[in-house]
Copies of this chain bind each other. A is one copy, B any other.
């Protein structure tokens, strides 16, 4: 079980969509925010079916078994430095960041020295915290449209079976999402490239919610 879930960046489109969909599925959700007062206003405006708590980043992490990292990739380093000491025993971090840049109007993945955002996170996260990836290829806009069927596959990778299982359990709570375990954390390189490809397809085909299904499993 995922236990209490903290969502850092939980008032953004992606984090907010996850927070509301997980709450709808019966999960105890805490939105972690840099500005809890403003976050509380946003959360109240959702009129969620189940109360969603709000805390600062460190407080949210400390109270959760599973933490979802849904801040922009640029904010990851500062955030991880601040929350590192606060993770509970057996905590798992679920990274959903993708280092996309639109510099000069051209969409590209930022060249992350470790190979992927997930591996970059691993290099900073305390070793005792398990790390998995999920929700990287599902369009934020679709997540935030609570009534929209997700209707796609979600790729899970991670640094241990336990971390992957935790992320898969979260994803399994969202109707219309099939989880596909793709193995070790290094596979995040490919998963993040799929996000880039989905964005390229959106732009080229003038759609908004391109996403993927695996055929043959």
A residues neighboring B (CB under 8 Å): 108-109, 139, 151-152, 155, 180-183, 186-187, 189-191, 193-194, 196-198, 200-201, 203-205, 207-217
Given contacts A182-B204, A211-B215, 5 further A-B contacts (CB under 8 A): A181-B205, A191-B197, A198-B214, A211-B216, A212-B213
Contact B215 A210 (CB under 8 A): yes
Residue of B nearest to A191 (CB): B197
Q: How far is the CA of A124 from the CA of B153 in the complex (A)?
A: 38
17 contacts between A and B (CB under 8 A): A109-B189, A155-B197, A181-B205, A182-B197, A182-B204, A183-B200, A183-B203, A187-B197, A190-B194, A190-B197, A191-B197, A201-B217, A205-B217, A209-B216, A210-B214, A210-B217, A211-B214
Q: How far is the CA of A145 from the CA of B33 in the complex (A)?
A: 53
Max chain B CB contacts within 10 Å: which of A194, A197, A213, A214? A197
Copies of this chain, tallied across the complex = 2
Contact B182 A201 (CB under 8 A): yes
Max chain B CB contacts within 10 Å: which of A180, A186, A214, A216? A216
Q: Which single member of B189, B190, B200, B208 contacts A182 (CB below 8 Å)? A: B200
Contact B214 A201 (CB under 8 A): yes
